[in-house]
Every structure is written in C-alpha cells, then in structure tokens.
Amino acid sequence: MRWEISTPITAYLVYRSYSHASLTPAGILTAAVTATIHALHPSPLPFTLLVLFFLLGTTATKVKKEVKATLTLSSTGSHPRNSAGGTRPSNVLGTIFSGDWNKTSEYHEKREAAKKASNTAGGQEPRSAVQVLANSGVVSLLCLLHIYLYRLDDNRDTTAAACFGSLPARDVILAGIIANYASVTADTLSSELGILSPRRPRLVFNLREVPPGTNGGITGAGLGAGLVGALVIGLVSVLFLPSPCSAGLQDTLGLVLGIGVWGALGSVLDSVLGATLQASVVDRRSEKVVEAPNGGRVLVTAKKEKDEADGGIGGGKPSRMIGSGRDILDNNQVNFVMAGVMSVGAMGLAGWVWDVPLRALWTK
C-alpha cells in the first residue's frame, strides 16, 4: 500500500474516532497500529477492507441509535475506569490509557454525553482497545505473516502467472484475510441492524423467542444484513484481487458469492458461540437484556442488589437472571474466537482446493 495514500486515510480515521468519541484513547492507539500494519502490506486490499469494515460498522451503529438504546439496559451508569474509589495514573501513558486526559476536551464532553445516555438504557460507549483487537487481532497477525511470505516470494524469482491462486502458499493467507473481514462485517451488521427487526429474535438452537440483544438470538433481518455486508466485502475484494486463475466471469461471481456465504456463516457461528458459551443476563423487572460496557461480563447480582436483597424484588431474589447461555466467554472473546475459526477455516478450505497443506506456509 502506498504510504502517501494510507497515511492521510489513517489520520482521518483517527481524527474521526476522536471527534465522534467512538473509540477510547487506547482504542484509537490500537486502531492506528492496526491500520499501520495493514498499510505495510504490498497490496492495497487488506487496508481497503479495514477501512470498509470501519465505515460499514460505524454507519450501522448510528442507524436508529436512540431506538436501539431503549431495547437493552446498561449494567452500570458509569464507565468502569471512572468508578468511585479508583486511583489516577501517575504517568502520562497511564493517563492516556485511563481516559483521564484533557477533561475539558470535546472528546471528553462527547464521551460523558454517551455515558449519560447509557445510564438506564443500553447506550453505546466508546469502544475499547480490547474490542478493536477482538475484531482485528487475528487479521493483523495474518497480514504480518503475508508480508513475510511476500518477501520470501520476492527472493525466489517467482515466474507464476499473476492470478488469484497462482501462488497458493501466499494466496491461502489472503483468503484468510478476506474471510476475516467478511465474517466480522457480517456479524457487526447482523447485530447492529438485526436488533431493529420488528420480529422478536429467536435462539439459534431451539428457535425460542428471546428479548432483543440476547446472545445467540437471530432474526431474518439480521441474517440478511450480515449477508449483504459480507457480499460487499466480497465485491470489493475481487476489485482489488487479480482475476481467479480460471479467469471466467462466472468464477469471479462465484468467488463473491462464496465470500458472502462464508461471512454469513461467521455470523451464525458467532450466534452459536453466544448462545452456548456467553451468558445473556436479563433484568427481571423490564425483561430486557443487560449489557456491560465494552463487551465485558455482566454480574447477575450487583453489589447494590446484594445490600438490598432482603427487601428486593421477589422476596430477596436478585433483580437479574441468566436468560440463556453459560458464563464462559464475554462478547470480545466470542468475537475473537469466531474471527479466528472463520479465518483458519477459509485458509484450510483454500489449501484443500489448491492442494496446499497449511504446514507448507512455514516451509521454504
């Protein structure tokens, strides 16, 4: 990727994240490092997919944001890093990562407004570094590995034809990169737009109706939005990829469709993981799903509820209960596992088609 193109785009994305308070300071730093890794790749495709995922995700998040904020509850009215009794960092780096910097800045004002909006509803706080890595950690590692393979190929004086699949050991990694963005884009759009469906979501396993925001809940609108997002990733990918070695229009369209279906399957896998390995906590009073800031875990019994248990709801019962799933993974871990499985799965599938075992990627 040419630095004179990637640098201003990265700077704009950093400024946009800052001005809209869509990322925490640590999240902005992590996103900038991620963009730099993608920009180091000789092909513009990884960086383009990163920018496309960012734009699609942030746009979907804004769609009827006020309505979505009323569909779920926030587990806390304040960000964990700003909770009472905390200690202020004693160094500049710690100040940046804690979010205590420049309290009079526009960023701080926007962030405080977001926190107030999420006091009783499930409003979206700025995304953290962990959330950025959950979606981009696997693909960043693949980009670094792909850069390494490019260097090896350059040293081999390769004479293979310039088409997708002509250098299988290299293109297998590229298939993993594309699959990662198809999957995380489908999952993001499915979550952000599916929750607005007029029909209540159903649990992926038994199709039982569940409250909006339930982990593992699916809707037709959500699955459709995810498929469209993955198809967009596929379409942009073929615009930047060399033509498949079979070189026909039918094969190119088949590649777009394959990427779209694979991304949609990633969204389904995320729902399966969420329904089984992630607890969905429901508020007994409102019957709404309770969400934790930055994709963390939600306590079934908060400290305040323990103090008031004797006179609380239901004869001392906690006001929250686990509606479905098991408390094994949080949302960030589910996203990371899904992205890893779909990326490695696509690499294995591409290696099988091209008769390239994965171990060949590390052999000279």
Domain residue limits, the chain: 3-362
125 pLDDT tier (thresholds 50, 70, 90): confident
CA distance 31 to 16: 12
CA distance 289 to 159: 57
121 pLDDT tier (thresholds 50, 70, 90): very low
24 vs 85, more confident: 24
pTM: 0.81
pLDDT attached to residue 325: 82
46 pLDDT tier (thresholds 50, 70, 90): very high
Q: Taking a C-beta distance cutoff of 8 angstroms, is the pair 262, 182 a contact?
A: yes
Query: Is residue 89 pLDDT above 70, yes or no?
Result: no
CA distance 72 to 213: 7
pLDDT attached to residue 83: 35
pLDDT attached to residue 109: 57
Q: Which residues of 206-241 are buried (b: 16+ CB within 10 A; e: fewer)?
A: eeeebbbbbbbbbbebbbbbbbbbbbbbbebbbeeb
Q: 21: closest CA among 61, 49, 48, 74? A: 61
Query: Is residue 75 pLDDT above 70, yes or no?
Result: yes
pLDDT attached to residue 260: 97
CA distance 17 to 2: 23
Pairing of strands 320-324, 202-203: unpaired
In percent, the amount of the chain with pLDDT more than 70 equals 75
CA distances from 17 to 26, 115, 122, 337 (A): 11, 16, 20, 25
- 291-312 residue pLDDT tens: 888 888 888 775 555 545 444 5
Query: Is residue 120 pLDDT above 60, yes or no?
Result: no
Q: What is the mean pLDDT of residues 249-271?
A: 93
Helix (H, G, I), strand (E, B) or coil at 57: helix
pLDDT attached to residue 104: 43
- 166-224 residue pLDDT tens: 677 778 889 999 999 999 999 999 999 999 999 999 999 889 999 999 999 999 999 99
